[in-house]
């Protein structure tokens, strides 16, 4: 293994899911739903396979999906993108993020990330030979947020890009317009590229609205936005994502992607195009159901003695373990299968400043009610 990838080991999601299988525990670790996406969308993928849609799709993606993405960005956010030159299909958001970082940052460049950050960011920045500059999200009145001065102080002469995930995994924060204005201001002032991870764009709760950074003044021309099918339509195994950005950025991303995967699975693209046009009412129901699951899990975690942070978006809850007398989330997450028959994710693996994340473990609530109930019943014996 090359030096720049030393230390990355196995992803925490694979590690903890394997632990769940090995111990027969309830898996509230890796975020994947235990119910399927909309039936007609699944049928569309099957039909695409049966009707011969099984050879290489165009590298940038099927035109029907690029058009559906352009229509979705326009209708939902008022953002206009040319499907031919400004929309690009990738193997999940993961490849979209990796290809963007690899195409747009290089040795010596610095990339600002908000910690805790999704694990692929650190690895991808390392692959690019760039350096990550973490800005820490801390709980303020029950919600994880950042200090604008800390963000401004993280910018230096080598800063090239800011990677922004909202709704944020694992913190559950959906950045407000005010927070986004601070980020946008820094990008404009220092001429930075923004790379946005919006995979939870539909999974927001209460009256929280997801605002794409690209909609802010002066941001469309410097923002590379990424989303995907997995979370919105409960098909995390489909690995179909997209990038929307000005054409020169898309060309850069394409240069990388064509030599990594060349193209993205055709049947999933056809089904995703169908779903973006026809299944958003299904997603609205998913969101309502997830909000109830969020509250169900939080009630259970609080009864078990955790301090739980109510997320504005995503399907994860941050739980502070200190009221239960624990201080090290990694230690507790490793012991949890034996202690309680439940698997969670130790949040500290998503931090450079591990001490800031040590008191937290992350629980997923994209599960059947009876699974959540059984898990919290087991956790009630932790005290």
Give the closest residue to 204 by CA, choosing from 302, 296, 294: 294
Q: Which does 104 bind (CB under 5 to 8 A by kind): ligand PMP, ligand GLN, none?
A: none
Q: Closest separation between CB of residue 180 and ligand PMP, Å?
A: 17
Compare residues 161 and 345 and give the one whose CB is closer to ligand GLN: 345
Residue 165's binding partner among ligand PMP, ligand GLN, none (Cβ under 5 to 8 angstroms by kind) is: ligand PMP
State which of positions 318-337 bind ligand GLN (CB under 6 A). none
- The nearest distance, CB 288 to ligand PMP, in angstroms, is 21
Minimum Å distance from CB 149 to ligand GLN? 29
Q: How many CB atoms lie within 10 A of CB 10?
A: 9
Which residue intervals of the chain are DSSP H helices? 12-23, 39-50, 63-77, 92-104, 119-127, 148-154, 177-190, 229-232, 247-260, 266-278, 280-304, 329-340, 354-357, 369-379
CB distance 329 to 348 below 8 Å: yes
CB-CB contact of 128 with 103 (8 Å): no
Q: Which sign does the torsion angle of CA 322, 336, 333, 290 carry?
A: negative
Q: In whole angstroms, how close is the CB of 119 to ligand GLN at the nearest point?
A: 7
Angle at 335 between CA 367 and CA 313, to 5 degrees: 35
Can residue 93 be called a binding residue for ligand PMP (CB under 6 A)?
yes
Q: Measured from the CB of residue 29, what is the shortest distance to ligand GLN in angstroms? A: 7
- Which residues from 244-303 bind ligand PMP, rule CB under 6 A? none
> Is residue 225 part of the contact set for ligand PMP (CB under 6 A)?
no
Kindly determine how many residues on this chain lie close enough to bind ligand GLN according to the rule CB under 6 A: 5
Site string for ligand GLN, 121-160 (x = CB under 6 A): ----------------------------------------
Q: Does 13 bind ligand GLN (CB under 6 A)?
A: yes
Residues 167-226 interacting with ligand GLN (rule: CB under 6 A): 169
Residues 246-275 close enough to bind ligand GLN by CB under 6 A: none
- Could you say which residues in the range 334-353 bind ligand PMP, by CB under 6 A? none
Q: Measured from the CB of residue 203, what is the shortest distance to ligand GLN in angstroms?
A: 12
11 torsion bin: left (phi>0), alpha (psi -120 to 50), beta (else): beta
Binding to ligand PMP by CB under 6 A, coded x per residue (else -) over 232-251, reads ----x--x-x----------
Distance CA 179, CA 43 (A): 41
Residues in the chain: 383
Q: Are 250 and 243 in contact (CB under 8 A)?
A: yes
Q: Which of 25, 27, 31, 228 contacts ligand GLN by CB under 6 A?
A: 31
Nearest to 67 by CA among 56, 81, 77: 81
Asked whether 111 and 133 are in contact (CB, 8 A), the reply is yes
d(Cα 350, Cα 376) in Å, to the nearest integer? 24
Question: Of 44 and 94, which has the nearer Cβ to ligand PMP?
Answer: 94
Select the residue interacting with ligand PMP from 44, 124, 223, 228 (CB under 6 A).
228
Sole binder of ligand GLN in the list 20, 26, 28, 30 (CB under 6 A): 30
Q: What is the DSSP string of 224-283?
A: EEEEEHHHHTT-GGG--EEEE--HHHHHHHHHHHHHHTSS--HHHHHHHHHHHHH-HHHH
Cα(101)–Cα(111) distance, integer angstroms: 9
Tokens 């959906």 identify what position? 174
Residues of this chain that bind ligand GLN (CB under 6 A): 11, 13, 30-31, 169
Residues of this chain that bind ligand PMP (CB under 6 A): 92-94, 118, 165, 169, 197, 199, 228, 230-231, 236, 239, 241
């Amino acid at each position: 293994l090359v030096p720049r990838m030393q230390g990355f080991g196995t992803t925490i999601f694979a590690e903890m899911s394997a632990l769940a299988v090995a111990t027969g525990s309830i898996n509230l670790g890796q975020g994947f739903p235990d119910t399927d996406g909309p039936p007609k969308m699944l049928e569309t993928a099957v039909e695409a396979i049966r009707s011969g849609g099984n050879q290489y799709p165009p590298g940038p993606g099927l035109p029907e999906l690029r058009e559906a993405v352009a229509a979705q960005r326009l209708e939902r956010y008022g953002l206009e993108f040319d499907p031919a030159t400004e929309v690009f299909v990738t193997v999940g958001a993961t490849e979209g993020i990796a290809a963007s970082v690899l195409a747009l940052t290089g040795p010596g460049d610095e990339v600002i990330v908000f910690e805790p950050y999704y694990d692929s960011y650190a690895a991808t920045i390392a692959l690019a030979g760039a350096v990550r500059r973490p800005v820490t999200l801390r709980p303020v009145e029950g919600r994880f947020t950042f200090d604008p001065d800390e963000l401004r102080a993280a910018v230096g002469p080598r800063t090239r890009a800011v990677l922004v995930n909202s709704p944020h995994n694992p913190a559950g924060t959906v950045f407000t317009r005010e927070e986004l204005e601070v980020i946008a201001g820094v990008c404009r002032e220092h001429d930075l590229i923004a790379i946005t991870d919006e995979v939870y764009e539909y999974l927001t709760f209460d009256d929280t609205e997801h605002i794409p950074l690209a909609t802010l003044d002066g941001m469309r021309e410097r923002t590379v936005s990424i989303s995907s099918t997995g979370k919105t339509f409960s098909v995390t195994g489909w690995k179909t994502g997209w990038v929307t950005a000005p054409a020169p950025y898309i060309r850069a991303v394409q240069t990388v992607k064509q030599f990594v995967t060349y193209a993205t699975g055709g049947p999933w693209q056809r089904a995703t195009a169908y779903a973006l046009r026809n299944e958003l009412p299904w997603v609205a129901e998913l969101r309502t159901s997830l909000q109830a699951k969020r509250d169900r899990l939080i009630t259970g975690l609080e009864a078990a003695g955790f301090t739980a942070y109510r997320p504005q978006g995503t399907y994860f809850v941050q739980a502070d373990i200190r009221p239960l007398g624990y201080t090290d989330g990694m230690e507790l997450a490793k012991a949890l299968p034996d202690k309680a028959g439940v698997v969670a994710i130790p949040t500290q693996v998503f931090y450079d400043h591990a001490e800031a994340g040590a008191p937290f473990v992350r629980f997923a609530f994209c599960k059947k009610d009876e699974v959540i109930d059984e898990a919290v019943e087991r956790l009630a014996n932790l005290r």
